[in-house]
Amino acid sequence: MSSIEANIGQSCHTSERTSHHSEKTKQNLQSRLNRIEGQVRGIKGMIEKDAYCDEVLNQIASIQSALNSVGKILLEGHMKSCVIERIQEGDHAVIDEILTTMNKLMK
């Protein structure tokens, strides 16, 4: 059983939905987001120093890729826990919810 599956016990469909990530997953996500935050600050510095546009654009592409990775981790955990749990409980509205979310991620 994966760490994601081990955390399914927490409710995903209450009026105040909360995440269900293990501490290891949270630390991984926080570490990734801290790096992304640093990259964004780096781009600000590059612009202040009039860095060559292509270099800035390459850094932006790197940040977008890093954010996509964070999104994939969150999406996988969500689908393996909350979505499955809600479908098993007969709440099929979660399918429309996840489709809307995926459309936003793919823009």
pLDDT of residue 20: 75
Query: What's the residue count for the chain?
Result: 107
> Domain boundaries in the chain?
21-105
Averaged over successive runs of 10 residues, the pLDDT of the chain (107 residues) comes to 41 62 92 98 98 98 97 93 93 95 91
Tell which CATH classification among 1.10.8.60, 3.30.390.30, 1.20.58.1000, 3.30.420.10 matches the domain 21-105.
1.20.58.1000
Q: What's the rounded Cα separation, in Å, for the pair 31 and 1? A: 24
User: 56 is written with which tokens?
Assistant: 């800035």
